Amino acid sequence: MFLYRIARFFLFLIPPEPAHYLTMRLLKLPFADKIFPGTIKKEAKLSKTVGGITFPNPIGLAAGFDKNARWIDLLAKLGFGFIEIGTVTPKPQPGNPKPRLFRLPKDKVLINRMGFNNDGADVIAERLYKLDRSKTKVIIGGNIGKNKITPNEEAVNDYMICFNKLFDFVDYFVVNVSSPNTPGLRELQEKDALFGILSAVQKANIERQNPKPIFLKISPDLHNDQIDEIIDIVTQTGITGIIATNTTISRTGLKTDLETIEKVGDGGMSGRPLAHVSEGILWYLRSKCPKDMILISSGGLMNAHQTKKRLDEGADLVQLYTGFIYEGPGLTKRIKQLLLSN
């Protein structure tokens, strides 16, 4: 923890996006996994079967960190049980103009308006094809979305392209219709559009010899009646479950001064202030969803006790992102130690 605090001090002197890529280069150094070991003794006890998949442990890395499936081997060494790549779109796209990633350290927050920047489904599928899965035990999820130029009326085609191109190389899928950084994307959470996308993907899925679990990632900015509608659609289409939640457009509860917040501008916020919202949605989902519906909780998980609480409150699995950046690679190890101690 002490070493990461020193490293974080210097990394936070650099703009967030370049710092992200520098961090991954540093973690490739031969001694890095010795300084930040992710595995612990008796870790096999944390293995968990969810949706027909055996996860080495219930701690995952959310989509957005390894958008292009470049660092799966490296991130697996840091102790994650599963890594979600993407969001992947059919065609490569550069995303939104830079700067598009911002820190609010006083609140332990990230604000991003990345805009699904990625190498495209063909390149990412090829990269996954070349990955030696015999050396990488980690579970891989594929988070899929639509290209910015694709009109919403044709969005289902984009999701199907990504589904088919990635199918042989990922263990589960996540349909992302909840990012606030692609214009109009969240409109796909509305009833008819969402039912069309999920039913098409699930129909193609069950026609395969080895169907994969499919999850829907939802926004934290939904009202309860919207969540109820989504639960009905997820149940009707027969997909596996829900990931709650994505980033929020809200800026409620921040300690950072208003001038700084306004200077940052639009984007999805993640980090500590999102914790109570994501936790509340998890509670609501668990009370309303069928008992066999799988729930993955993401949003505002910044420490081990908080993460264990989410699992105790009904999450089948959890995902980290901003907590991993602010607290460092040792966070996965601390969570696993706490889980085993109980």
pLDDT for position 3? 81
**Is the per-residue pLDDT at 37 higher than 70?**
no
- CA separation for the pair 234, 177 (Å, rounded): 13
185-219 residue pLDDT tens: 999 999 999 999 999 999 999 999 999 999 999 99
Residues recognised as catalytic: 179
pLDDT for position 1? 67
Straight-line distance from the first to the last Cα atom of the chain, in angstroms, rounded to the nearest whole number: 22
- Minimum mean pLDDT range among 31-35, 94-98, 236-240, 314-318: 31-35
pLDDT for position 136? 83
pTM for this entry: 0.97
**Is the per-residue pLDDT at 294 higher than 70?**
yes
**Is the per-residue pLDDT at 80 higher than 70?**
yes
**Is the per-residue pLDDT at 2 higher than 90?**
no
- Give the burial string for 124-144 (b: 16+ CB within 10 Å, else e): bbebbeeeeeeebebbbbbbb
Confidence of residue 33 (pLDDT cuts 50, 70, 90): low
246-291 residue pLDDT tens: 999 999 999 999 999 999 999 999 999 999 999 999 999 999 999 9
109-165 residue pLDDT tens: 999 999 999 999 999 999 999 999 988 889 999 999 999 999 999 999 999 999 999
